[in-house]
Amino acid sequence: MSMDLRELYQEVILDHNKRPRNRGKLEEPTGSAEGHNPLCGDNVTVYIHTHDGRVEEVTFEGSGCAISTASASMMTETIKGKTLAEVDAIFREFQQMVTATGEVAEHPDLGDLEVLAGVREYPVRIKCATLPWHTLHAAILGEAVKVSTE
Ligand code: ZN
């Protein structure tokens, strides 16, 4: 990855961190879950409203580092309107992207989320990036447990 691209990616992350999309609480979610990443101190709660197997609304709140906040913000933008099967596929693709070793494959389906591919070089940051996704997964499944990356 060239330095220019890195800077561009950094900018996208900072922008989502500064102005998180879909931040807040849903009044009547069909599912919600809380996630915690003790390594970094990130906390996130994901609220989701699904209807007929499709994500109608998804929001998040919490406090965390720039990576976890940006990941949550981009995640909500990406999965809104998608079917749960599509969300599952995106989740797996995202996880593969941030944990893969070797060449970085292109992930056109991930949109802005692709900027988070850089975290794979920082193992501690991978948990920041994936926390909102694990929490989303729990919210979809309606699991009442608290998600922890540890
Ligand atoms: Zn973090």
| pLDDT tens across the length of the chain (150 residues) | 555 667 777 899 999 999 999 999 999 999 999 999 999 999 999 999 999 999 999 999 999 999 999 999 999 999 999 999 999 999 999 999 998 877 767 777 788 888 898 888 888 899 999 999 999 999 998 765 567 777
pLDDT at position 16 is: 95
3-state class (DSSP) for residue 45: strand
3-state class (DSSP) for residue 47: strand
Q: What is d(CA 47, CA 35) in angstroms, rounded to the nearest whole number? A: 11
Quick one: tokens of 94? 């995202």
Quick one: tokens of 11? 């900018």
Q: Residue 38 Cα, ligand 1 centroid: separation in angstroms?
A: 9
Q: Residue 65 Cα, ligand 1 centroid: separation in angstroms?
A: 4
pLDDT at position 58 is: 98
Q: Residue 53 Cα, ligand 1 centroid: separation in angstroms?
A: 30
Q: What is d(CA 118, CA 104) in angstroms, rounded to the nearest whole number? A: 9
pLDDT at position 5 is: 63
Task: Write the CA distances from 134 to 103, 106, 127, 148, integer angstroms.
Answer: 25, 22, 10, 9
Q: Which residues surround ligand 1, an ion (CB under 5 A)?
A: 40, 42, 65, 68, 128
Q: Residue 43 Cα, ligand 1 centroid: separation in angstroms?
A: 9
Q: Residue 39 Cα, ligand 1 centroid: separation in angstroms?
A: 8
CATH architecture designation of domain 3-148: Alpha-Beta Complex (3.90)
pLDDT at position 3 is: 55
